């Protein structure tokens, strides 16, 4: 799938570092998720308007993102952008799930990463989903993500071959939903017209996985407190499902300088996945913050090289 960089992912590396106390989760993250921030969507993926048409990773990328091959509705009111590889060939399918604090799901900011992965021979689908801004709550966002995966797998390829493996990649709140889709891939919803497909692999970028540590913020996902809806909070917590589908390999990336979602969300989830039998690769990236983790120069080669190791 094109030239490879010298970087190779570090297998089973987990840095157990609580760089922030829970006070930051209930303080800094709360502010960043809309509890007083002047940024309308600081936990999400900045739109193309705010990030520009070029990736701005830590190394100063100048790669211009290709526009998607097409944009389609995969469900009424829900759109997905499809990037086809420039050279048709059998290869992986990547489904990108944007963040947004479970309040929004703007996929535009992931366009440079989608373009870079597609340039390497992958079919890439970036999909939005329902959020609390639509007065929709869990399990609706997960149902949409699962349906987006099914839609992506049904997208005809130029070669006519089914893409493989199917890799779901999520950023921030989207990483939480991507993890659930990979670990418990049941329940795409009765309105989903596509044949259900379980992801073969998971990539999480700076995800707030353990929602139990976000009692005020994660209300946006569930529409109720954990005390009022304990079952839904358990169903929507990937850490509690870390033993599911142990054959699914996982790559977790997190910026060491992330002020929005503390690093321990990733390291603790990684430990739970390891205990659950998953082949888990973790990298805490120095000099990278919450938005930097999905920039092309940070994420693209790491994802490409890791996907290359998959069967």
Q: What is the CATH number of the domain that holds 149?
A: 3.40.50.1820
Tens-digit pLDDT profile for residues 253-294? 999 999 999 999 999 999 999 999 999 999 999 999 999 999
Tens-digit pLDDT profile for residues 133-179? 999 999 999 999 999 999 999 987 766 777 889 999 999 999 999 99
- Predicted pLDDT of residue 65: 83
Q: What is the mean pLDDT of each run of 10 residues along the chain (311 residues)?
A: 35 36 34 33 43 35 80 98 87 97 97 97 97 98 98 81 91 99 92 96 99 97 98 98 98 99 99 98 98 98 98 89
- Predicted pLDDT of residue 87: 81
Domain count, the chain: 1
Question: Among 164, 151, 131, which Cα is nearest to 191's?
Answer: 151
Determine, yes or no, domain membership for 285.
yes
Determine, yes or no, domain membership for 278.
yes
Question: What DSSP string describes the chain?
Answer: -----S--PPBT-------S-HHHHHTHHHHHTTSS-SSS-TTS---HHHH-SB---TT---PBPPPPSEEEEEETTEEEEEE--SS-----EEEEE--STTT----GGGHHHHHHHHHTT-EEEEE----GGGT--TTHHHHHHHHHHHHHHHSPPTT-PPPSSEEEEEETHHHHHHHHHHHS-----TT--S-----SEEEEES----GGG-TTTTHHHHSS-TTT-HHHHHHT-GGGGTTSSTT--EEEEEETT-SSS-THHHHHHHHHHHHTT--EEEEEETT--TTGGGSIIIIIHHHHHHHHT--
Give the domain extent around 70: 22-45+61-308
Determine, yes or no, domain membership for 10.
no
Determine, yes or no, domain membership for 161.
yes
- Predicted pLDDT of residue 215: 96
Q: What is the pTM of this model?
A: 0.83
Determine, yes or no, domain membership for 1.
no
Determine, yes or no, domain membership for 2.
no
Determine, yes or no, domain membership for 11.
no
Beta-carbon contacts of residue 93 (< 8 Å; ≥ 6 apart): 122, 123, 124, 125, 152, 153, 163, 164, 165, 166, 167
- Predicted pLDDT of residue 188: 85
Determine, yes or no, domain membership for 127.
yes
């Amino acid at each position: 799938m094109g030239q490879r960089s010298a970087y190779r992912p570090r297998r089973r590396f987990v840095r157990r570092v609580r760089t922030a106390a829970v006070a930051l989760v209930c303080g800094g993250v709360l502010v960043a998720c809309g509890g007083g921030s002047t940024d309308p969507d600081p936990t999400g993926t900045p739109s193309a308007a705010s990030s520009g048409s070029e990736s701005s990773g830590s190394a100063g990328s100048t790669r211009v993102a290709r526009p998607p091959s097409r944009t389609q509705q995969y469900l009424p009111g829900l759109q997905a952008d499809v990037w086809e590889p420039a050279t048709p060939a059998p290869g992986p399918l990547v489904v990108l799930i944007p963040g947004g604090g479970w309040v929004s799901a703007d996929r535009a900011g992931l366009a440079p990463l989608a373009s870079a992965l597609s340039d390497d021979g992958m079919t890439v689908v970036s999909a939005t989903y329902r959020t609390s801004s639509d007065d929709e709550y869990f399990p609706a966002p997960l149902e949409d993500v699962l349906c987006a995966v099914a839609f992506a797998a049904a997208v005809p390829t130029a070669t006519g071959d089914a893409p493989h493996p199917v890799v779901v990649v999520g950023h921030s709140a989207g990483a939480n939903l991507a993890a659930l889709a990979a670990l418990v891939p049941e329940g795409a919803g009765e309105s989903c017209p596509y044949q259900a497909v379980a992801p073969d692999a998971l990539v999480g970028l700076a995800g707030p996985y353990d929602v139990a540590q976000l009692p005020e913020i994660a209300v946006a996902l569930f529409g109720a407190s954990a005390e009022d809806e304990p079952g839904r909070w358990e169903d929507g917590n990937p850490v509690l499902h870390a033993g599911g589908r142990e054959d699914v390999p996982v790559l977790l990336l997190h910026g060491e300088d992330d002020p929005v979602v503390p690093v321990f969300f990733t390291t603790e989830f990684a430990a739970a996945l390891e205990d659950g039998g998953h082949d888990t690769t973790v990298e805490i990236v120095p000099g990278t913050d919450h938005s930097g983790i999905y920039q092309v120069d940070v994420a693209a080669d790491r994802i490409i090289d890791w996907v290359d190791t998959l069967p």
